[in-house]
Chains A and B, each alone.
Chain A
């Protein structure tokens, strides 16, 4: 048990370091996948078998696929190479993070278990889906329903957000939006891009409307 904790803990931290330090975003995402899998293993050592399975399926599976998909879709795997807006932000974050981690470690070791660990672990019954579902549908019924509504809102919101808008006159220049889009947009933007007068596009728009 102790060996499993040390191994999984070390791998978790290594994965976390890869996540925050990797230059390539795909490598960072894969580092996070490793971390999530190791956290799932830690859940299994903590008598939470259902959560371990959920962690692998939902987090390491679905969520990370979404991440990798977006990274590759946006071609965002190359690092951003502009100047730092805040001077010494890396050094300050490193020092702050080290201090925070040290404080957490010191605080963690002041915690005393309220009763013998073997008894509490036995009370969890291995963290089975039965035990969790019982809590979820009695004491946690309202959060459970709220979360289901939240998921519905998230689905609708994501669809609404990535819909291609018809026109957004907000003053921000859209240089690269012209060539793609619906047939209507292509017709109105295409001739102007080819250097023809704007009058013609206006007439075309009227005819098709």
Chain B
């Protein structure tokens, strides 16, 4: 059996990749995709720990995180569409003014 440490290490690498994406990408949609990557890294670690302790609580937490991510995507993409209609751009640098 693959030890839990390997899974958690993979999850850490995936999380770092997502962080690089959030910091470097300029389009709001790409930032969202990177956030999804980070959420999946957290999910992977949770499932690995659930197996390590033999407790389904971790898996249940992943289920709830998945639901939250779906809600976040629905709202976030709706916001992006609304902003795009108004500004014709989803570049996060142009949207940094927070004025309407």
Interface size on A, residues (CB 8 A): 99
Instruction: Tell me the bound Cα distance from A36 to B18 in angstroms.
Output: 13
Most B CB atoms within 10 A — which of A16, A101, A161?
Answer: A16
Does B63 lie within 8 Å of A39, measured CB to CB? no
Nearest A residue to B72, CB-CB: A154
- Which residues of A are found within 8 Å of B47, using beta-carbon distances? 42-43, 46, 48, 51
User: In A87-103, which residues have CB < 8 Å from any B CB?
Assistant: 89-90, 92-94, 96-98, 100-101, 103
Instruction: Tell me the bound Cα distance from A55 to B10 in angstroms.
Output: 18
Most A CB atoms within 10 A — which of B10, B15, B66?
Answer: B10
Instruction: Tell me the bound Cα distance from A54 to B64 in angstroms.
Output: 11
- Which residues of B are found within 8 Å of A28, using beta-carbon distances? 30, 33
- Which residues of B are found within 8 Å of A178, using beta-carbon distances? none
Does A90 lie within 8 Å of B9, measured CB to CB? no
Nearest A residue to B2, CB-CB: A5
Does B51 lie within 8 Å of A97, measured CB to CB? no
User: In B1-44, which residues have CB < 8 Å from any A CB?
Assistant: 1-21, 23-27, 29-30, 32-34, 36-37, 40, 43-44
- Which residues of A are found within 8 Å of B78, using beta-carbon distances? 157-158, 161-162
- Which residues of B are found within 8 Å of A104, using beta-carbon distances? 8-9, 11-13, 15-16
User: A85 within 8 Å of B by Cβ?
Assistant: yes
A172-B99, A174-B86 are contacts. A124–B80 as well, Cβ < 8 Å? no
- Which residues of A are found within 8 Å of B54, using beta-carbon distances? 115, 119-124
A89-B24, A176-B88 are contacts. A100–B19 as well, Cβ < 8 Å? yes
How large, as a class, is the contact surface on chain B? 35 or more
User: In B57-95, which residues have CB < 8 Å from any A CB?
Assistant: 57, 59-64, 66-75, 77-82, 84-88, 90-91, 93
Q: B-contacting residues of A (Cβ < 8 Å)?
A: 1-2, 5, 9, 12-13, 16-17, 19-20, 25, 28-29, 32, 35-36, 39, 42-43, 45-48, 50-51, 54-55, 58-59, 62-63, 66-67, 70-71, 73-74, 76, 79-80, 82, 85, 89-90, 92-94, 96-98, 100-101, 103-105, 107-111, 113-115, 117-124, 127, 131-132, 134-136, 139-140, 143-144, 147, 150-151, 153-155, 157-158, 161-162, 164, 168, 170-172, 174, 176-177
**A46-B7, A127-B59, A157-B74 given; 14 more Cβ-contact pairs under 8 Å:** A20-B34, A48-B59, A51-B59, A58-B66, A76-B90, A93-B23, A100-B12, A104-B16, A124-B56, A132-B56, A132-B59, A136-B63, A154-B70, A154-B71
